[in-house]
Amino acid sequence: MKLKLMAACALAVLACAAPAAAQPKPTAADAKAFVTNAEAQLDKVNAFANRAQWVRANFITEDTQWLEAKANAEQNELVTRLATEAAKFNGVATDPVTARKLKLLKLYLVSPAPNRPGAAEELAGLVTKLDSTYSSGKFPYKGKPITLNDAEAVMAESRDPAELKAVWEGWHGTAKVMKGDYARFAALSNEGAVGLGFKDTGALWRSNYDMDPDAFAAETDRLWTQVEPFYKNLHCYVRARLNEKYGDAVQPKTGPIRADLLGNMWAQTWGKIYDVVQPKTVSSSYNLDKLLQDNGYDPVKIVKTGEGFYSSLGYAPLPQTFWERSLIVRPKDREVVCHASAWDLDDKNDIRIKMCTKVDGEDFRTVHHELGHNYYQRAYQAQPTLFRNGANDGFHEAIGDFAALSASTPTYLNQIGLLQTVPGADEDIPFLLKMALDKIAFLPFGLMVDRWRWEVFAGEVKPEQYNDAWWALRLKYQGLVPPGPRPADAFDPGAKYHVAGNTPYTRYFLAHIYQFQFHRAACAQAGWKGPLHRCSVYGQKAVGEKFEKMMALGQSQPWPQTLAVFSGETRTDASAVAEYFKPLDAWLKVQNKGQQCGW
């Protein structure tokens, strides 16, 4: 009995006060040995968990959910135990690499489990179930059940407000079954975060940016202030055009925009309604959706084209196994997680993507986005386990978007034979408007998703307030309202993948700023003298080489130093966003004359 207690104490150092006096003080060498051993254990548990996750995401069944939850629980238990044990080196003067690894160990899990029997299993079970429920969500429409993909196509293409409202409400209704599980999941995740010394799960997430968590929150406020005026100009312009199209009864001239009119289920990108809001005086001579379709592109050809862009920067081709093992098209015969993702199964060369690719401009860009994750994973492969990650998670999301900024230019589309004639400067405004409908419209959404979760994890928003708090933030940041009153049992946050799938979201807000910083730095390196939005670094091997140097560093040092390696800058800075969109902002201000902007 006594022995058993001792063993339990050794595993849970923090919970046991008594044995401390008897133990010799750990040394720096002990700390180094500890992290080396921890990394070996992580490699082992991850190899199994990665496979289980891949299989569940590609074949959602009762059994694969069971297997994934078991693997994730084991991974979670191991990491939580290691992170707890790491505390015994607090105050030990370790070398800087070991010190960083000890810190990263505590930040490794998105949702650590409470350190008590059964908790990791319960948490992992909820995480798998929420993600699977979202991914297999369907609702009846015109007499048959439709998937999110079908619903998204209606949101993008329909211009009938009644139809948009019905489909929007149908999809959002699928999330209400998740509310109870989400509340339980949040409580467990918080208990785990507190066990590791964080205030709550939100504080854990905010601690992963090489600065104090409160300073990071303030940093996101600062960045939002930099871009908010531009978002408001875009909102104002788009609202006026929607009002012209749909009339006062559907979209009033003043106040917020109806969330189902913007071409996207979450109103996070608005590019699909370019036809509704396009400039009246000058039109765009091409439509990327149409170019891809007319030129016989299929999903695999889009991925090959994406690979071609990265090859032009000097990167080695994707391995043969990428093509054999990736999921590129939605299978008809089974449930899968269609939300796009990029995987590294073995930290060697087994990289893959998994997405239900459509042949359109949106997925042309998403393919570049996903491949960016894969090229990053490959670049930092030689780093030790705990450094095999993005400099921060915003970097990971920005790599592929940076590539897509060049790959979206008419110059590039012409170089790869998609576009016959490169339009002149007279088409700058249509081009920039299309880009802003995706990149600028996204910014407040990129911010508000985690503002909501930060409030939930901090206990400021209780389960009965989940939906109202969500819409308060949707209104505050995005200036949006739902198409009609929401039912009392609605759980609209759960209708967004990253909430159901427990993926932090501030990373995308950051990425929407970093990608323009990378782009500006890359164009300067390439000697580009023209406007930023017309620059493409396709084929610029020297740029690729320098970018690779940054990527290869992974998470081995604080991100500001890593940013400096490529761009010479040490801060996140939206001035590159402003520079890229400057001509459009000026144009929007003229269009908005006489309007009462804001909401």
In the complex with Zn ion, which residue's Cβ is closer, 106 or 369? 369
Closest approach of Zn ion to the CB of residue 52, in Å: 21
Taking the CA atoms of 26, 383, 509 and 229 in sequence, report the sign of the dihedral they define. Answer: positive
533 in active site: no
In the complex with ligand X8Z, which residue's Cβ is closer, 268 or 572? 268
Contact pattern for ligand X8Z over residues 252 through 271, marking x by CB under 6 A: ----------------x---
In the complex with Zn ion, which residue's Cβ is closer, 547 or 587? 547
Closest approach of Zn ion to the CB of residue 404, in Å: 11
Q: Which of 307, 362, 370, 397 is catalytic?
A: 370
In the complex with Zn ion, which residue's Cβ is closer, 292 or 510? 510
Q: Is the distance from CB of 498 to CB of 340 less than 8 angstroms?
A: no
366 contacts ligand X8Z (rule: CB under 6 A): yes
Closest approach of ligand X8Z to the CB of residue 268, in Å: 6
Take residue 181 and report the two structure tokens written for it.
Answer: 């599980």
Q: Is the distance from CB of 395 to CB of 564 less than 8 angstroms?
A: no
Q: Three-class SS of residue 457? A: helix
How far is Cα 460 from Cα 469, in angstroms, rounded to an integer? 10
258 binds, among Zn ion, ligand X8Z, none (CB under 5 to 8 A by kind): none
Q: From the CB of residue 334, how many other CB atoms can be counted at a distance below 10 Å?
A: 11
| Site size toward ligand X8Z, by CB under 6 A | 6
In the complex with ligand X8Z, which residue's Cβ is closer, 366 or 467? 366
Q: Is the distance from CB of 139 to CB of 146 less than 8 angstroms?
A: yes
How far is Cα 398 from Cα 507, in angstroms, rounded to an integer? 9
Q: From the CB of residue 526, how many other CB atoms can be counted at a distance below 10 Å?
A: 17
Closest approach of ligand X8Z to the CB of residue 128, in Å: 18
Q: Which of 163, 169, 498, 548 is catalytic?
A: 498
340 binds, among ligand X8Z, Zn ion, none (CB under 5 to 8 A by kind): ligand X8Z
Secondary structure percentages of the chain, helix, strand, coil, to 5:
65, 5, 30
In the complex with ligand X8Z, which residue's Cβ is closer, 106 or 396? 396
Q: Is the distance from CB of 144 to CB of 244 less than 8 angstroms?
A: no
341 binds, among ligand X8Z, Zn ion, none (CB under 5 to 8 A by kind): ligand X8Z
Closest approach of Zn ion to the CB of residue 501, in Å: 12
**Cα-Cα-Cα-Cα dihedral of 92, 98, 103, 108, to 10°?**
-140
3-state secondary structure 121-159: HHHHHHHHHHHHHHHCCEEEECCEEEEHHHHHHHHHHCC
Closest approach of ligand X8Z to the CB of residue 148, in Å: 12
Contact pattern for ligand X8Z over residues 498 through 517, marking x by CB under 6 A: ----------x---------
Specify the residue for token string 């909820």: 126
In the complex with ligand X8Z, which residue's Cβ is closer, 491 or 505? 505
| Site size toward Zn ion, by CB under 5 A | 1
Q: Three-class SS of residue 491? A: coil
340 contacts ligand X8Z (rule: CB under 6 A): yes
Specify the residue for token string 């995308």: 508
Q: From the CB of residue 228, how many other CB atoms can be counted at a distance below 10 Å?
A: 15
Contact pattern for Zn ion over residues 389 through 418, marking x by CB under 5 A: --------x---------------------
374 contacts ligand X8Z (rule: CB under 6 A): no
How far is Cα 494 from Cα 1, in angstroms, rounded to an integer? 46
Closest approach of ligand X8Z to the CB of residue 501, in Å: 9
Specify the residue for token string 């040394």: 27
Residues 266-325 that bind ligand X8Z (CB under 6 A): 268
341 contacts ligand X8Z (rule: CB under 6 A): yes
How far is Cα 222 from Cα 212, in angstroms, rounded to an integer? 15
Closest approach of ligand X8Z to the CB of residue 586, in Å: 27
Closest approach of Zn ion to the CB of residue 315, in Å: 18
56 binds, among Zn ion, ligand X8Z, none (CB under 5 to 8 A by kind): none
Q: From the CB of residue 55, how many other CB atoms can be counted at a distance below 10 Å?
A: 16
508 binds, among ligand X8Z, Zn ion, none (CB under 5 to 8 A by kind): ligand X8Z
Task: Give the H or E element holding residue 341.
Answer: strand 341-344
**Contacts from 193-199 at CB under 8 Å and sequence distance 24+?**
193/111, 193/112, 193/457, 195/14, 195/80, 195/84, 195/112, 195/114, 195/115, 196/80, 196/83, 196/84, 196/106, 196/112, 197/87, 197/106, 199/458
In the complex with Zn ion, which residue's Cβ is closer, 307 or 397? 397
Q: Three-class SS of residue 250? A: coil
Residue with smallest beta-carbon separation from Zn ion:
397
In the complex with ligand X8Z, which residue's Cβ is closer, 73 or 435? 435
370 in active site: yes
**Could you list the active site residues?**
370, 498
- The site for Zn ion (CB under 5 A) is made up of 397
- The site for ligand X8Z (CB under 6 A) is made up of 268, 340-341, 366, 369, 508
